[in-house]
Amino acid sequence: MAAARHSTLDFMLGATADCNAVLKALQPVFQEQGMTETVHNWEDHGYLATYIKKNGSFANLRIHPHGLVLVDLQSYNDHTKGREETDQLLNKVEERMKELFHGNLKRVKRLPAILRGGVIDRYWPTADGRLVEYDIDEVVYDEDSPFQNIKILHSKQFGNILILSGDVNLAESDLAYTRAIMGSGKEDYTGKEVLILGGGDGGILYEIVKLKPKMVTMVEIDQMVIDGCKKYMRKTCGDVLDNLKGECYQVLIEDCIPVLKRYAKEGRMFDYVINDLTAVPISTSPEEDSTWEFLRLILDLSMKVLKQDGKYFTQGNCINLTDALTLYEEQLSRLYCPVEFSKEIVCVPSYMELWVFYTIWKKQTEV
């Protein structure tokens, strides 16, 4: 099935618009295409003209009196000829507007067409709500687990990208993310006990195993994430997910909360805890958002299994989400034990936004 192509063309005039004059100037452009016209007039609020073609394509022409003229065109022809026809129509509209207003156009803006309903979904929002179009050319993997939808899509720039329930998690290009959540090369993992919460893509485990730790325990709830990544994200995880046990690591397919509670009860302690479960929630209402309760629980339990001189690493969120990040830092003051923290800002390629990472440690008591 062909995707719907949504094309836009915007004009900002240098003065108020004579709505009737604009309409009469552009009517012939649409009528030449054999499009049927319907016009709505809102007196002081301008005009809306709709043009419909027999093949199902249609255009909306919105003329605002204050000088904004908007053209939206939706077509279902995904072949080259259909795209050329759309471009030609928009070109004629632009030419006619320039003739009509000469040098009185402050801005003309034509955005790339948005494809809606296609087999490949190229559009994913950033954490702060901006729309990004990725250069996706293939759906590599798309399955529903008992916990989430798992997609692995191929990007020409970023390689394969893991997307969990609509959130871009990690691409093969994103070693910067993995390094940041491990301490950005400042830590010595040799002979250390490490606990990874989540991390089903295998990137963190793969990088830490290279650093000769004593033992790494990774706790991932979703076997299907591991299965997809070990097959299609091998530039990220190497061969480390081929087996759930290695010389210096083990992977537990379990919910991390019972595991953390068990380790705390047993008195098991770690030099490093790396939380790769979820980003700081966008919501700034922790009393209403269960994700904040989940984060606080993970933090408290992690502190209970972290050695006194150990470190806890986690991602924050996009640098623009200042309210959410500030609220997260406030939560750190409410843990069962006093902690201190630092943060680092890193550019993660496939996120197309700057990302905040936290290092948290127990506050040393003065003797």
Q: Which residues are catalytic?
A: 276
Strand 270-276 relative to strand 215-219, pairing: unpaired
Helices vs. strands in the chain: H and E counts, helices first:
9, 19
- Pick from 348, 358, 119: which is nearest to 236 by CA? 348
Whole-angstrom distance, CA of residue 106 vs CA of residue 17: 13
Query: Long-range contacts of range 326-333, CB-CB < 8 Å, 24 or more positions apart?
Result: 327/280, 327/284, 327/286, 327/292, 328/280, 328/295, 328/358, 331/286, 331/292, 331/295, 331/296, 331/299, 332/299, 332/360
**3-state helix/strand/coil string of 53-80:** CCCCCEEEEEECCCCEEEEEEEECCCCH
Spatial CB neighbours of 29, under 8 Å, sequence gap ≥ 6:
89, 92, 93, 96
Residue 364 is which amino acid?
A: Q
Q: Is 18 helix (H, G, I), strand (E, B) or coil?
A: coil
Say if CB 218 and CB 199 are below 8 A apart: yes
Tell me whether residue 244 is exposed, middle or buried, using C-beta atoms within 10 angstroms of its C-beta: 0 to 12, 13 to 18, 19 or more. middle
If you compute the radius of gyration of the chain from its CA atoms, what whole number of angstroms results? 27
Nearest partner of 336 among 299, 309, 292, 290, judged by Cα: 299
Report DSSP state, residue 43: G
d(CA 232, CA 237): 9
